[in-house]
């Protein structure tokens, strides 16, 4: 299998962490990709018509894309146990979606200043994206910490990578302020080898 990947992407990082947590690192070749919606020439457009990463090429079928699809596939491939059974699955998928929403908004904030000309930059739009992030973080702090105290599953990976991306691209906004429980949880989770191995540096 070949994973089209960029280490700065939090969505790619989720897949990379799951690969390590489920013991599949030796089964996946990494193909570096870089770009954004206005510069897709180095993105896997032949494998994914959306030109987005992560994308997973595989011999047994067409490429898979969207990190949530890829993670479900890789987990099922080895019965990794990263998705709870029964009713607990819906809570897990909802918290996973919350983490993805944080990442979506945080990435769009970066695209606003990277991909738009300065005269088209909208500070109000950026702050609107950050408002989504803060509401989601507050919801996790208030309602979801019990799930993060449960045995390791996809929610831990998704939330951990979302928070790591906030540190990476938006450290000046101090997401930890007023969220002591989430902050303490992340300090511990960030020490996992899978998280240290995939920490973005550029």
Beta-sheet pairing, 2-5 with 55-58 = antiparallel
Q: What is the pLDDT of residues 110-146, one digit of tens each?
A: 988 877 788 888 999 999 999 999 999 999 999 999 9
Distance CA 88, CA 170 (A): 32
Same domain, 10 and 98: no
95 within domain boundaries: yes
Number of separate domains in the chain = 2
201 within domain boundaries: no
Of 78, 106, 121, which closes a domain? 78
Residue 181 in 3-state DSSP? helix
Same domain, 19 and 66: yes
Q: What is the pLDDT of residues 140-193, one digit of tens each?
A: 999 999 999 999 999 999 999 999 999 999 999 999 999 999 999 999 999 999
The domain that contains 166 carries what CATH number?
A: 1.20.1050.10
Per the structure, the complete domain to which residue 30 belongs is given by 2-78
> What is this structure's pTM?
0.94
């Amino acid at each position: 299998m070949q994973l089209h990947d960029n280490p700065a992407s939090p969505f790619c990082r989720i897949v990379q962490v799951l690969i390590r947590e489920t013991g599949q690192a030796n089964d996946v070749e990494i193909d570096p990709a870089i770009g954004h919606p206005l510069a897709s020439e180095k993105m896997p457009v032949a494998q994914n018509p959306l030109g987005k990463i992560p994308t997973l090429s595989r011999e047994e079928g067409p490429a898979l894309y969207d990190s949530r699809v890829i993670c479900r596939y890789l987990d099922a491939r080895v019965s990794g146990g990263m998705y709870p059974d029964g009713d607990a699955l819906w809570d897990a998928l909802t918290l996973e979606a919350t983490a993805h929403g944080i990442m979506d908004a945080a990435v769009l904030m970066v695209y606003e200043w990277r991909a738009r000309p300065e005269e088209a930059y909208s500070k109000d739009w950026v702050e609107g994206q950050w408002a989504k992030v803060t509401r989601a973080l507050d919801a996790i702090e208030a309602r979801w910490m019990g799930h993060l105290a449960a045995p390791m599953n996809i929610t831990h990976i998704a939330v951990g990578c979302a928070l790591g991306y906030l540190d990476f691209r938006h450290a000046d906004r101090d997401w930890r302020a007023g969220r002591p429980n989430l902050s303490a949880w992340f300090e511990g989770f960030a020490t996992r080898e899978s998280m240290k191995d995939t920490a973005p540096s550029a």
